[in-house]
Structure 1
Amino acid sequence: MTSPEPAGRAARRERLVALLLAGVAAVLLFSSPTWFASDQAVVGGAQLFLGVVLAGVAAVLYRRATRA
């Protein structure tokens, strides 16, 4: 069996994944007005929804990583 990785390494990885997801969410949220301006509101709405979901997941992961 493999040994579990140290808690510090796991927390660092979770924090980095959270920051990556937050960056992707920011790009999705800030670029969504482009879709609304080009009369593709469905794509813009889906992009907004996905951006909010990713931001929420990033917040949960970041809080969990910094609380440990």
Structure 2
Amino acid sequence: MLKHTKSNELIGTSQRSFEDALQTILARANQTLRGVRCLDVIARDLEVHRRRTDLSGASPVAFRRNATR
């Protein structure tokens, strides 16, 4: 049986750290996707809004199609 891998790009944000932003991505991916295999960081951004800092990370999440939980 052939296994197919697909990738979706997700973005996570945090006011504390980039690691928290990536944990947000991973938690969301594990809720909605089956067979999560890889998380690659492709972007890290920092935005400042009136003394508030928002950190965000973008990541393609690779997962196996038709995988069981």
Say whether the fold is shared (TM-score over 0.5). no
Q: Which has the higher strand share?
A: 2
Q: What is the TM-score when the length of structure 2 is the normalising length? A: 0.28
Q: Which has the higher helix share?
A: 1
Q: What is the TM-score when the length of structure 1 is the normalising length? A: 0.29
Considering only CA atoms, is the larger Rg found in Structure 1 or Structure 2? 1
